[in-house]
Amino acid sequence: MPEWLKWFYLLFWITLIGFMAIGGYFMFRKFLKALPKADGKSILDWQEYYIKETSHLWSDEQKALLNDLVSPVPKLFRDVAKQKIAGKIGQLALEAKADRMTEELIIKGYILATPKRDHKWLIQTLQKKNIDLTPYKHLF
């Protein structure tokens, strides 16, 4: 067997195991979110509940704003990010007993649902939309 073929096989297997490890990591994270908590519902169940309970409060304009806010997220992860953010917005709307979605609720939910490591891009996105961040400084 030629020497270059041995190196190719070694590189192939290292790459394959690396990709499987990365995929396993993300699958494990999703599995942890699907596990029921003490109240009997998982994080994903609560997200789905909040979205379902507040779906009638959204107007087309507000849905468009949410789509604009998640547009910087890579397309592969955009639907998951949108669902997480919409779930947090729904939670805030139910806690506030809102009768309709407001821009304030959407921006507040967007900030709270976004991981701290991504706040740099979050701020850039909000500034591009000419949204004043002063009332939301305490959330960062």
The mean pLDDT value for 18-46 works out to 86
Say what the pLDDT of residue 137 is: 77
How far apart, in whole angstroms, are the C-alpha atoms of residue 43 and residue 139? 21
Q: What is the pLDDT of residues 87-99, one digit of tens each?
A: 999 999 888 888 8
Say what the pLDDT of residue 7 is: 93
Say what the pLDDT of residue 94 is: 87
> Given pLDDT bands bounded at 50, 70 and 90, which one contains residue 18?
very high
How far apart, in whole angstroms, are the C-alpha atoms of residue 37 and residue 24? 22
